[in-house]
């Protein structure tokens, strides 16, 4: 047996009350002594108005035809109701109205304000308000003092329903903005991951491929280590892409989907970067702890990775690179310096678009750190970042 949710119970109760109110309308229509048989004309206009309104309010969404849009749902019943009221006024015939039609028009006003486009919300909402305020002229006439009392009560109900619809529409808009902003932030983060990891490995593959082509002519017997490096870089690039795509999925190994890179990984990064013509030295002070917050370690890893990638792209003539990790009065200082003069043999398409340092600065600043990049005192280039080294 299927259990009924509280929302389903509440909806069923509300529908029952609405149908009961419509029955009261029909009884009011026949209370002038006529029967409610097909020959009694005063009842059938009321039935027609109620049926059109109930169809607009209660038609299930999953079975709703495409033409039954929110403007159609809210405008047509209001027009039918208003025409009935105007017809009663023109023919000087007294026709009762009841709570069912009032509730239907209020529900249609709510739907118009919350779900119609801004322009149609004003039009359809105005039609529903006019139809609601015209109801008393069917029985009382336009000059009766009771009309003013009904209009006053109607305006209060209109304000309550329209206010609730505006509030919920505003919440929907804010929720949509929040979802859009979250998705944009996720896209930016994924783009940063692709740039930081995949571009680093692919640049390494390109450099080592150029080296292999040169060695194939002069030192073919020493090609195996270079080819092994290319294979390792390609494997790392595929692994990085798999981890990045894994962020978008709900399945998979959670460990693989965590941000990668820490202080220990910097040593592997340096080892993989070194080539016979480019020596890399890692200097890490003993005071630099492995117990730093993971986000700080990951950002430090990205700083080193981006700096090394830029050396391959823009300073291929560098012969020595020094990576330094220091504790500077409770702050982690990461620096990467080279002795290159800006010589590069990479194709222009592989030089990058200049967004790496921009994204890196945003990442470092978000953690309360500072990033500096510029020429060294003598020759070469240096990238230096400082982070608050609070313990994790």
The DSSP code sequence of 125-145 is: HHHHHHHHHTGGGGTT-TT-H
- Structure-block tokens of residue 53: 């309104």
pLDDT tens, 110-142? 999 999 999 999 999 999 999 999 888 877 665
User: What letters, b where the CB count within 10 A reaches 16 and e where it falls short, cover 368-390?
Assistant: ebebebeeeeeebbbbbbbbebe
Phi, psi (rounded to 5 degrees) for 339? -110, 25
- Looking at the chain, list the stretches that DSSP marks H as alpha helix, in order from N- to C-terminal side: 6-29, 43-58, 70-91, 99-115, 118-133, 145-193, 200-218, 223-246, 254-257, 263-273, 294-314, 356-366
Q: Which residues contact 127 (CB under 8 A, 6 or more apart)?
A: 74, 75, 78, 79, 82
* Residue-level pLDDT at 343: 59
pLDDT at position 37, please?
40
Length of the chain (residues): 392
What does the pLDDT read at residue 384?
Answer: 92
CA angle 255, 258, 262 (to 5 degrees): 105
CA-CA distance, 226 to 122, in Å (whole number)? 70
The structure's pTM equals: 0.52
Q: Which CATH architecture has domain 277-392?
A: 2-Layer Sandwich (3.30)
Q: How many angstroms separate the CA atoms of 284 and 307, rounded? A: 17
In the chain, which residues have pLDDT < 70? 1-7, 30-42, 140-146, 183, 186-187, 189-204, 206-208, 210-211, 222, 226, 232-233, 236-260, 342-356, 390-392
Element spanning 117, H or E: none
pLDDT of residue 123: 93
Please list the residues that pair with 385 across neighbouring strands.
Answer: 334, 371
How is the chain split into domains, by residue range?
8-143, 277-392
The whole-number pLDDT of residue 255 equals 43
Residue with tokens 């209370």: 31
Provide the pLDDT for residue 350: 43
Nearest by Cα to 114 from 154, 172, 159: 172
DSSP H/E element including 324 = strand 320-328
Q: What is the DSSP letter of 387?
A: E
For residue 371, which of 354, 358, 380, 381 has the smallest C-alpha distance?
A: 358
């Amino acid at each position: 047996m299927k259990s009924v949710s509280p929302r389903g119970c509440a909806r069923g109760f509300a529908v029952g009350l609405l149908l009961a109110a419509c029955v009261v309308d029909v009884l009011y229509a026949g209370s002038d002594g006529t029967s409610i048989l097909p020959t009694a004309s005063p009842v059938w206009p009321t039935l027609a108005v109620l049926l059109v309104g109930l169809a607009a309010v209660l038609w299930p969404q999953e079975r709703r035809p495409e033409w039954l849009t929110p403007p159609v749902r809210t405008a047509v019943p209001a027009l039918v109701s208003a025409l009935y009221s105007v017809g009663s006024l023109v023919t000087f015939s007294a026709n009762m109205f009841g709570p069912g039609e009032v509730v239907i028009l209020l529900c249609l006003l709510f739907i118009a304000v919350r779900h119609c486009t801004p322009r149609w919300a004003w039009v359809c909402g105005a039609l529903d308000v006019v139809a609601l305020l015209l109801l008393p002229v069917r029985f009382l006439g336009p000059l009766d003092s009771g009309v003013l009392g009904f209009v006053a009560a109607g305006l209060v109900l209109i304000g309550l329903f329209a206010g609730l619809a505006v509030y919920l529409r505003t919440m929907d808009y804010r929720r949509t903005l929040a979802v859009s902003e979250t998705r944009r932030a996720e896209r930016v983060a994924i783009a940063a991951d692709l740039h930081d990891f995949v571009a680093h490995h692919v640049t390494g593959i390109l450099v080592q491929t150029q080296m292999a082509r040169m060695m194939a002519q002069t030192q073919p017997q020493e090609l195996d280590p270079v080819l092994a490096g290319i294979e390792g870089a390609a494997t790392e690039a595929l692994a990085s892409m798999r981890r990045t795509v894994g962020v978008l999925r709900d399945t998979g190994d959670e460990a693989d989907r965590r941000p990668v890179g820490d202080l220990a990984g910097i040593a592997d990064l340096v080892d993989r970067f070194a080539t016979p013509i480019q020596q890399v030295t890692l200097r890490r002070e003993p005071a630099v702890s492995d117990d730093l917050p993971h986000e700080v370690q990951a950002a430090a890893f990205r700083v080193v990775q981006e700096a090394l990638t830029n050396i391959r792209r823009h300073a291929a003539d560098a012969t020595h690179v020094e990576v330094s990790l220091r504790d500077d009065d409770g702050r982690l200082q990461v620096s990467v310096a080279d002795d290159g003069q800006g010589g590069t043999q990479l194709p222009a398409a592989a030089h990058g678009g200049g967004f790496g340092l921009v994204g890196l600065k945003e990442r470092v600043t978000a953690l309360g750190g500072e990033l500096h990049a510029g020429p060294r005192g003598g020759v070469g280039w240096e990238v230096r970042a400082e982070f608050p080294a609070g313990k994790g």
